[in-house]
Amino acid sequence: MSKQFDVVVIGGGPGGYIAAIRAAQLGFNTACIDEWKNDKGGPAPGGTCTNVGCIPSKALLQSSEHFEHAGHGFADHGIAMNDLKIDIAKMVGRKDTVVKQNNDGILYLFKKNKVTFFHGRGSFVAAKDGGYELKVAGAAEETITAKHVIVATGSNARQLPGAPFDETNILSNDGALRIPAVPKKLGVIGSGVIGLEMGSVWRRLGADVTILEALPAFLGAADESVAKEAAKVFKKQGLNIELGVKISSVENGKDGVAVKYTDAKGAEQTLAVDKLIVSIGRVANTIGLNPEAVGLKLDERGAIVVDDECKTNLPNVWAVGDVVRGPMLAHKAEEEGVAVAERIAGQHGHVNFNTIPWVIYTSPEIAWVGRTEQQLKADGVAYKAGQFPFLANGRARALGDTTGFVKFLADAKTDEILGVHIIGPMASELISEAVVAMEFKASAEDIARICHAHPSLSEATKEAALAVDKRTLNF
Ligand code: FAD
Ligand code: NAI
């Protein structure tokens, strides 16, 4: 007889493994199927995020930032560095260790929470007895049944037509995280989150990086003032970003890659590089899931169709994370996973899409939550803005990192915070205060009246809130 579960989660990325843990906590007999393999063929749960996404990219960002500080930043502190070297193999090895620690951590959490883990590919076989029959194809093949299925199969990098990833010269995020030596010239197509983060890593390590972007505006999703500041800083750092280009062809040769494109002025150009990262977005992944077997509905882009509660068109089949609509972010996937497990238990799981933070882990970091100034204008909302520069923050001066600012946008009448936009040191951490504030529908005045530790970067947040009412104390 096949093994029976209350809940089976297909996919063990942040959406899937978190959903499985929460379902098990709620008392369901739960299994999670994930097919990711480590280099020895063993299980490596954690999905894109853990294996080739959030975690390894942040490990390399940290290493490359240390290198840049040692080369350029330490001198100001009176620390002399002679003969600075970087061992790329060691740096990549450290990143791999960090990844493995996270893989092992998830396997431990499965054990702790009594989640049954299957290493292999999960697919739908048929709807059966009010539930679903699923096949697991791994080292051993087996059939299991589930009353509820949560699909969390994630996403894959989008390929540029005519330029398939070979992960040697033309790299997706996967190859971009394990380039064996610093390329002299690195090309990046797409100035989105991956392009900026991975471009920054390899620039800091010495590569001459050129990013080609199709859109005429830089970082269109960010607040315009943040995007403008970021463009200025990245240019100063030596990141070449060309906007408004149209790629005509990509030739992958023995000596590298030649990218032919039309620039914003309409002139034909060729960019010759040793390696090319293509980071032009990601596509939902349902490869091998066999959704047709049960009639699971996908949209025209291949994403699983879900409603606001992550319900699919099938009873008791749910989908979360990158494989459904909405931002492709690990924390969004996690929140959806928890909410679905709670809904299965008859609770009222909820994800507030208005307070999902965005972070770009460049230097300076960029982070925001809520609406941008241009969105508020487009929505016809009357608002007040307040901004405070890190240049006027004592802790930032002591750190030697005074680039950027915190910006508050608040409702003109009620003072409710509508958006917070940060470019500067530790923006990824500072944004949490804004998320909490917005979740509690706080006003700018609320933040302005809260005691913030001195000296701390968070004082810039308080001052930006004060700036909404034109009463900063330190600027
Ligand atoms: P995934 O993490 O993609 O996991 C899906 C899992 O399902 C995979 O393990 C896959 O092998 C498995 N799977 C698929 N099909 C099957 C099947 N049929 N059977 C069994 N298993 C299957 N987001 C952030 O919030 N912060 C960041 O800093 C960040 N950095 C990123 C950096 C990079 C380079 C990239 C590429 C992405 C980054 N992201 C970041 C995005 C983040 O990784 C994704 O949003 C997140 O991983 C989505 O989680 P998920 O669970 O939906 O899918
Ligand atoms: P992205 O959507 O962030 O950026 C893609 C960029 O490529 C866009 O600016 C787009 O205009 C451009 N583009 C598309 N087609 C093009 C073409 N033919 N020629 C030139 N430019 C083109 O996608 P990216 O960087 O691939 O990342 C995928 C997703 O992964 C992100 O949307 C994000 O959700 C997630 N991610 C999140 C991170 C974080 O939270 N810090 C870090 C990295 C990735």
Among 210, 152, 162, residue whose Cα is nearest residue 183 = 210
Rounded to the nearest 10 degrees, the angle between the axes of helix 54-68 and helix 193-204 is 40
Q: What is the 394 CA–ligand 2 centroid distance (Å)? A: 35
Instruction: Compute the average pLDDT of residues 57-67.
Output: 98
Q: Cα dihedral angle (423, 48, 323, 126), rounded to 10 degrees?
A: -160
Is 454 an annotated catalytic residue? yes
Is the C-beta atom of 215 inside 6 A of ligand 2?
yes
Does 259 share its domain with 402?
A: no
In a domain, 474, yes or no: no
**What ligand 2 atom has the least distance to the C-alpha of 219?**
9
At 2 the pLDDT is: 83
Among 16, 24, 9, residue whose Cα is nearest residue 112 = 24
**What ligand 2 atom has the least distance to the C-alpha of 212?**
20
User: Which member of 66, 348, 452, 454 is catalytic?
Assistant: 454
pTM confidence score: 0.98
Does 132 share its domain with 9?
A: yes
Percent over 90 (pLDDT), the chain:
97
Is the C-beta atom of 195 inside 6 A of ligand 2?
yes
At 139 the pLDDT is: 81
**What ligand 2 atom has the least distance to the C-alpha of 360?**
41
- Cβ contacts of 474 within 8 Å, gap of 6 or more: 388, 392, 393, 459, 463
- Above 80 in pLDDT, residue 1? no
In a domain, 475, yes or no: no
104-121 pLDDT, tens digit each: 999 999 999 999 999 999
Mean pLDDT of the chain: 97
Q: Binding site for FAD: which residues?
A: 58, 122, 153-155, 322, 328-331
- Above 90 in pLDDT, residue 408? yes
**What ligand 2 atom has the least distance to the C-alpha of 160?**
18
Domain C-terminal end among 280, 304, 335: 280
Q: Binding site for NAD(+): which residues?
A: 190-197, 213, 281
CA-to-CA dists, residue 378 to 374, 375, 409, angstroms: 6, 5, 14
Q: What is the 304 CA–ligand 2 centroid distance (Å)? A: 20
Q: Binding site: which residues?
A: 58, 122, 153-155, 190-197, 213, 281, 322, 328-331
Distance (Å, whole) CA 12 – CA 183: 33
Is the C-beta atom of 286 inside 6 A of ligand 1?
no
- Which of the listed residues 242, 279, 428 should we mutate to test ligand 2's pocket, taking the one with most ligand atoms within 8 A of CB? 279
At 44 the pLDDT is: 98
Does 152 share its domain with 45?
A: yes
Peptide bond into 216 cis (omega under 30): no
At 24 the pLDDT is: 98
Domain C-terminal end among 244, 262, 280: 280
- Which of the listed residues 282, 324, 353 should we mutate to test ligand 2's pocket, taking the one with most ligand atoms within 8 A of CB? 282
Does 200 share its domain with 253?
A: yes
Percent over 70 (pLDDT), the chain:
100
The protein residue with its alpha carbon nearest to ligand 1, atom 30, reads 54
At residue 404 the predicted structure's pLDDT band, cuts being 50, 70 and 90, is very high
Q: Which residues of 419-433 are buried (b: 16+ CB within 10 A; e: fewer)?
A: bbbbbbbbbbebbeb
- Cβ contacts of 330 within 8 Å, gap of 6 or more: 13, 14, 49, 53, 54
Is the C-beta atom of 327 inside 6 A of ligand 2?
yes
Q: What is the 157 CA–ligand 2 centroid distance (Å)? A: 9
Does 143 share its domain with 8?
A: yes
Q: What is the 150 CA–ligand 2 centroid distance (Å)? A: 26
Domain C-terminal end among 321, 351, 381: 351
- Counted domains in the chain: 3
Does 321 share its domain with 445?
A: no
Does 325 share its domain with 255?
A: no
Does 390 share its domain with 443?
A: yes
Domain region containing 379:
355-467
Distance (Å, whole) CA 385 – CA 378: 16
Does 235 share its domain with 323?
A: no
Helix (H, G, I), strand (E, B) or coil at 291: helix
Is the C-beta atom of 162 inside 6 A of ligand 2?
no
Here the CATH number for the domain that contains residue 403 is 3.30.390.30
Does 343 share its domain with 359?
A: no
Here the CATH number for the domain that contains residue 80 is 3.50.50.60
121-151 pLDDT, tens digit each: 999 999 998 899 999 998 889 999 999 999 9
Distance (Å, whole) CA 399 – CA 457: 10
Q: What is the 282 CA–ligand 2 centroid distance (Å)? A: 7
Query: How many Cβ atoms from other residues are within 10 Å of residue 268's Cβ?
Result: 9
Question: DSSP readout, 369-382?
Answer: EE--HHHHHHTT--
Distance (Å, whole) CA 63 – CA 465: 34
Rg (CA), the chain: 24
User: What's CA 8's distance to the chain center, in Å?
Assistant: 25
- Cβ contacts of 265 within 8 Å, gap of 6 or more: none
**What ligand 2 atom has the least distance to the C-alpha of 220?**
9
- Above 80 in pLDDT, residue 399? yes
Q: What is the 178 CA–ligand 2 centroid distance (Å)? A: 19
In a domain, 85, yes or no: yes
